[in-house]
Structures are given as C-alpha cells and as structure tokens.
Amino acid sequence: MKSKITLLLPFIFICIVAVQAQNEDPHGSAESAITGIISSKINNDTMFDINEFAKDYAEAWCSQNPKKVALFYAEDGSLNINNGTPAVGRAAIAQSAKAFMDAFPDDMIVAFDKLLKTSKGIEFHWTLTGTNTGPNGTGKKVNISGFELWEFDHNGLIKESKGTFDAEEYNKQIKYGI
C-alpha cells in the first residue's frame, strides 16, 4: 500500500498545483493550469523531468491549441524553423504552431521520438504525421521527422528552439503523399 501511495504523490502534487493555478486565474483557464504545472516542475528541481517536459510538449503540438505550445517557451523565447525568420515571443510562437495545426486540422500527431544531449544543447527529436486537409490542402498524407535544438532559460522554459526538418521532402509529401 505504501508503494502505491508513493507512486501517486507526484500526480497528486501536479493536480493540486493545477487547481491552485486555476484558482489564481479569475477565469480559471486551462492555460494558467498548464503554466502552473510547467512552473512547478521547473522551480522544484526534484520534480523537473526533461523527458516528461518533452512528452508534454509533443502533446501540446497535437492539441490543436497553439497557445499550449507557446506556454513551453519563455515570454521572450524564440522558435526558428529551418533557419527562417525566428518567431519571437509567445504570440509569434503560437502563430508558427498554428500554421502547422491549420495545415493538419484533423489528424496531426507529433510524436516524441527521443532526446539527445549535445554540446550545443538538448535535441528534441520528433515525427509529424497527418493529412494535409487544411485550407488549400492537398489531402495527402505526410510523415516527416526532424528535431529542435533547445536552449533553456533560468526558469527551465525554452529560451531558443532551432527546428530542423527536410523541407524538400516535406513539400514533396504535401504534393504527392507518402
């Protein structure tokens, strides 16, 4: 019995933090609950688990709610995709996430493949699958892998993410499918 309780303690703590975060927000938004959970993981070193962070981040990409993706970033964080113009700040990051979510509105899945610690930072490897059924969509299925090189701020949120995937292969799949 004691071991079952021990296993449930982190879950109970996260639920309490989520409820507290909702209570602090007069509107009780889900966003404040997510921010509270992320902050509690970051501010309590014994709770922060980079693998859980990565899983939650992938789930946020699957949510069709771009603001959830942006909450994993520092307020002035940046997301750069394939050396393009960086999206700086949560609003801009949410817009970048929205572009992918709009392209794959029905079945987009971003799978967390693995994390690699490198001399440049943490690499979050992912695979995106979905059908391009959004506005001007082709109806073609896509399966593309890539990674983001993460740099964290002092609060444990993503300060900078440099995303990389094979854009030529992605565009080919958008046009012809897999």
- Tell me the Cα Rg of the chain: 17
Per-residue pLDDT reduced to its tens digit, 148-165? 999 999 999 999 999 999
How does DSSP classify residue 84? S
The alpha helices in the chain, defined as continuous H runs, are 2-24, 30-43, 50-62, 66-70, 90-103, 167-176
Nearest to 100 by CA among 30, 170, 175, 172: 170
- What span, in angstroms and rounded, lies between the C-alpha atoms of 24 and 98? 27
pLDDT value, residue 20: 38
Per-residue pLDDT reduced to its tens digit, 5-34? 344 334 333 333 333 333 344 334 444 444
Q: CB atoms < 10 A from the CB of 147, how many?
A: 19
pLDDT value, residue 161: 98
Q: Calculate the average pLDDT of the chain.
A: 82
What does pTM read for this prediction? Answer: 0.75
pLDDT value, residue 78: 98
- Cα angle 17, 8, 154 (rounded to 5 degrees) comes to 45
